[in-house]
Amino acid sequence: MNKIPRIAARHWKPLVFFNATVLAATTANITLTPKVWTTKAELILPNVTSNLDADLGKLGNYKDGGVVFSQQINPLKILSSIVMSDRVIQKVWESDPEKNAFDRLTSYKSNFTVSPQSESTVISLSVEGSSPKLALQRAQGVIASFQDRLQELRQDEAFGRSQLMYKEVKQAQIKLMQAQKSLSEFKETSNLVSSEEQTKNMVAAINTLNTERSQAIAEASSNAEQTKILSSRLSLTPNTAIRSARLEENKEYQFTRQKLSEVEAALTEAQGKLTPNHPRVLDLTYQRDVLRHQIQEHIADAAGNVKGINTTVGDNTTRLIQQLVLAESQGAANKKKAEQLQIQIDKLTATLKTFPAKQAKLQQLQRQYDIAEGVYNGVVAQTEQAKLGAFSTYPSVQILDKPMMDSKPSGPKLNMIVLGAILASGFGSAGIIMLMESRNPLLGYKDIYQTKIPLLGSIPYVRSLATKIDREGRGEIEFQRLASAVSLMQLETGRLMIASATEGEGKTTTTLGLGIALTNLGFKVLIVDGDFRKTQLSQYLGYQQRVTLDSELIPVNMRPGLDLLSLRMAPEKIAEFVARGRFERRLNLAQATGNYDYVLIDSAAVTLTSEAALMAKVACNVLFVTRPGKSDRNPFYHSIEQLRRHQARILGFVVNGREIQAQSSVDESNQVEIG
């Protein structure tokens, strides 16, 4: 768990910048987002069913339950679509005082929300505005525009149905007048008043059959008209409607359509990001063509030789198709029934012909008149039903709750903005840490062991360097162990450069601690402040530098057995000072005159300067200091590569900042014998 805070601390700058940006954006969003007021209203839908009860005279009565909306054809959804239609919203938009604030009708529609309530006939309407007055004005305007639009649709529906029924009424009226005229003329000429008992029974039987046949004809006519209306609405014949419904019920076809929609969506997204020849785009294009071919095969199988199949049948259309097929089948059944009754009537009529011709003629004319009267009454009733049917399709919606205004604004929602900012900060910070870690991960012990360079020692983290090491003696045991390990090594020149990949890894601490520990072992040590830019070692030891000539560089005694060699020079001359050999000559002169056992060079960070690698070539031996859990992995490996490229001998690692743990066994297992 301690690793996560350490990783976050390494990337505090981008994290602080990102979170400051999120905070500024959130503050700007809260400050600049305009306030919004919401007006709410509720509309209620009355009963949408209608009943027809028509008297067909001697043929009896004709009853029709009318149109009943099902769950598939939900009137609330239809009316909600009408409310949000362009025709209704456009009328409100044109009179809106803030019309110019919306460049398109689609963006203006975002101010309106229509929600049909389940298990009821209530429609909830919510309207937003930049002020309470404007929100109320928009709500009242959309309700008025909606009611006007319903009236227009009812008039169009009634006119269309009336046009379909007008010819049928005319034809039925002509047949009724002809039958009435023929019956009247025959009565006048024949002077027939009554008939015999047998004739009455025969005629009664024929009339009964004629009544049934007339009812069948009337029902067949009604079914035919219903079939015409539904066919006109669906733009399908009964045959194509059945095949369209059969295609809709094909689960494999529906699955292929769904898959095609998903592939086309993925192809659109890929085409927006990739080139046309990209493998991803080509693969999605191929999948789309295959799915389209499969859909065409399904359509061909369902259609047979019939054209005009509807391939986009939905739930509402399926319900209408069912009604169309039912009406068509009932019409065919009634027509067949009428034909069967006609056969029976023909038989009875043939028998009746044996009766007096005039009596039979009278009965026949009376029968024709009764049939014509019943058909006429039925067609007229259907015409009236067509006019009333417009109210079933587009009922008169009533206002249940008038638009009400809340005095407090409904937006912006501060809690949602703050929650979004918190989520953005959390996920964004995690993303930044993951990105930074993927570019330059944290160094661990495993990375050190993989270099196969021995681990010579581990020292605790020391903050104040000279005062802590010299006065309190913290880390004395660890530095003594490190000094013992160094004293057992064969250093031909006695020189040892203490290096690190970046700043703050503890090389200066290690140089000073190792130097003091070697003097405690009886060796004479010269420590060289090789970081000519910052000279931190000299500052920590309290040495006040002065500008000197190269030839005047002499060591300064800091304590018994420990001398300091320090130099201050311009940064642009440092690389030349080392590359030209002047630094090496200074070391040779100091060693020759001072008779030092060890020369410890505190160098600059290898990845930050160019002279550090050149110093390693002069010193030949390098002791590399690092801090697992704090140091970066990439600079660590880059520094090792740079030192090896300059033929430096890396004797081992010193781990700085190690927590006090029982790790001596791990350290000893990674040490090698230095001969």
Tens of pLDDT along 291-308?
888 877 777 776 565 555
Tens of pLDDT along 405-439?
666 776 666 677 778 878 888 878 777 766 655 55
For residues 589 and 454, state if they share a domain: yes
pLDDT, residue 663, reads 38
Positive or negative CA dihedral for 476, 482, 487, 491?
negative
Q: Is residue 388 part of a domain?
A: no
Q: Is residue 321 part of a domain?
A: no
- 338 near 91, Cβ under 8 Å? no
Indicate the residue type of 279.
P
On the question of pLDDT at 635 being above 50, the answer is yes
Give dist(CA 512, CA 529) in Å, integer: 10
> What would the two tokens of residue 496 be?
């040892």
pLDDT, residue 8, reads 67
For residues 297 and 431, state if they share a domain: no
For residues 551 and 430, state if they share a domain: no
DSSP sequence for 285-339: HHHHHHHHHHHHHHHHHHHTT-----S---HHHHHHHHHHHHHHHHHHHHHHHHH
Number of domains the chain contains: 3
End position of a domain, from candidates 265, 280, 309: 309
- Confidence tier at 666 by pLDDT (50, 70, 90): very low
525: which strand partners?
Answer: 562, 598
For residues 502 and 628, state if they share a domain: yes
pLDDT, residue 562, reads 93
End position of a domain, from candidates 275, 309, 343: 309
Residue (of 203, 178, 83) closest to 138 by Cα position = 83
DSSP sequence for 624-663: EEE-TTTSBHHHHHHHHHHHHHTT-EEEEEEEES--S-S-
Which residues constitute the domain of residue 19? 3-31+414-439
Q: Is residue 37 part of a domain?
A: no
For residues 425 and 516, state if they share a domain: no
Looking at the chain, the whole-number percentage of residues with pLDDT higher than 70 is 73
pLDDT, residue 371, reads 87
Residue (of 656, 664, 663, 625) closest to 463 by Cα position = 656
For residues 418 and 516, state if they share a domain: no
Helices (H) and strands (E) in the chain, counts: 23, 14
Q: What is the pTM of this model?
A: 0.40
For residues 419 and 536, state if they share a domain: no
